[in-house]
Amino acid sequence: MRVLLFTGKGGVGKTTVASATALKTASLGYKTLIISTDPAHSLSDAFQMELNPFPTKVRENLYAMEVNVEYELEKHWSVIKEYLEAFFRSQGIDDVVAEELAIFPGFDEMASLLHLLEYHEKRSYDVIILDCAPTGETLRLLSVPEVAKWYMNRFFGIEKKLLRIVKPIAEPLVNVPLPSEEVMNKIQELYVKFGKLKEILESEETTVRIVMNPEKMVIKESERAFTYLNLFGYHVDCVIVNKIFPKDVGEYLSNWIEIQNRYVEEIKQRFPLPMFKLHFRDREVVGEELESVANEIYGERDPTEIFYRHRPMEIKKVDGYSVLSINVPFIEKKDLKMLKRGEELIIIARNWKRIVFLPQSLALKDVVRAEFKGERLNVYFA
């Protein structure tokens, strides 16, 4: 099964590119599902039809869905939602407000990932495409499985045991409802699923595609996204540069064309990835127009192809040392910090922090030195 994630700064045309890709893979005979993880859904607008919070047939081999938070909570997580509502009401919060607070931020994006897990395990589709939210939200979303694993390993088991002992004594004395065994089991189930999701997202069959426009701020944000994705072990196999002005648009946009040409060349030089181009259209890109977009991007190539293979993270032997090598592009040595704590290696790159759970072969060894060479952080263990 092939999994494709499309991300980029808001307004660059992610939904257009993701929808066009889905049409192309479906036309090639792959049973395709496209899921919107953006709370401001626009897949319905792209396909010009009403979509549901479950797979809706768009055409032969193509299905699409837009996640609905209320639907997901009622269907799958009503036990957790009911507990949160009861908790907020116990604090004197109005019923309506309590119901709103029970829908915690980011749940719609999390629900999208859980659907990815469900259909991946069932092997219901040949291709699953995620039309992701703007870059910042997507990066936070992709860090959830890692954070969940850290929390489960460190605290959850202890909390569950303590709650089982303390609840009968404490509940009559405090004015707060404590979570039941059923609630804790649901939370555990949620975190176990995120652990499985991490394996899917880091596998070679899953790749991220960064959509950008030839503009300075967009390129800078795309660079930051590329750094983050490599740091967290996600595979990026291409960049798609959208909204390039055609050369024959007239004198009015001549300065813009020069600027764009310069930035397109800069993208080519700075990103070690295949680049696909998409020109600005003279009409709205929806419905049948998406097919011509897909053909312009991919030509005769199959969108399910892995356009670039690399290892964001690998362990190798060098001169008798075990070396953990992590790709950290667009970062300077002064922006990197590192700390080993037991079986965890903590890496800080500017504003991002990743806790790497070391395999047993490295966890029992000491870090003897580290070097930053050719955009890779190499950590030597002995």
| Residues 40-66: tens digit of each pLDDT | 778 999 999 999 989 999 999 999 999
Per-residue pLDDT of 147-179, as tens digits, reads 666 655 554 554 555 455 555 545 554 556 666
Domain that holds residue 357: 313-381
Q: Are both 342 and 272 inside the same structural domain?
A: no
Q: Are both 15 and 92 inside the same structural domain?
A: yes
Q: Are both 84 and 50 inside the same structural domain?
A: yes
Q: Are both 218 and 231 inside the same structural domain?
A: yes
Asked if residue 283 has pLDDT above 80, the reply is yes
Longest dimension (CA), the chain: 79
pLDDT band at residue 286 using 50, 70 and 90 as cut-offs: confident
Least confident segment among 186-195, 257-266, 277-286, 298-307: 186-195
- Report the range out of 32-41, 134-143, 325-334 with the highest average pLDDT: 325-334
Specify the number of domains making up the chain.
Answer: 2
Residue 374 sits in a domain of what CATH number? 2.60.40.790
Q: Are both 34 and 131 inside the same structural domain?
A: yes
Q: Which of 275, 309, 343 is the last residue of a domain?
A: 309
DSSP code at position 280: P
pLDDT band at residue 252 using 50, 70 and 90 as cut-offs: confident
Q: Are both 261 and 354 inside the same structural domain?
A: no
Q: What is the pLDDT of residue 358?
A: 85
Q: Are both 258 and 373 inside the same structural domain?
A: no
Asked if residue 346 has pLDDT above 80, the reply is yes
- How many other C-beta atoms are found inside a 10 Å radius of the C-beta of residue 168? 9
Q: Which of 309, 326, 350 is the last residue of a domain?
A: 309
pLDDT band at residue 146 using 50, 70 and 90 as cut-offs: low
Residue 84 sits in a domain of what CATH number? 3.40.50.300
Q: Once rounded to an integer, what is the mean pLDDT over residues 9-13?
A: 90
Q: Are both 71 and 215 inside the same structural domain?
A: yes
Strand, helix or coil for residue 108: helix
- Give counts: helices (H), strands (E), the chain: 13, 15
Q: What is the pLDDT of residue 296?
A: 96
b (16+ CB within 10 A) / e for 272-311: ebeebebebeeeebeeeebeebbeebbeeeebbeebeeee
Q: Are both 299 and 339 inside the same structural domain?
A: no
Average pLDDT, the chain: 83
Q: What is the pLDDT of residue 342?
A: 84
pLDDT band at residue 299 using 50, 70 and 90 as cut-offs: very high
Q: Are both 57 and 179 inside the same structural domain?
A: yes
What is the rounded CA–CA span in Å between residue 288 and residue 308? 29
pLDDT band at residue 180 using 50, 70 and 90 as cut-offs: low
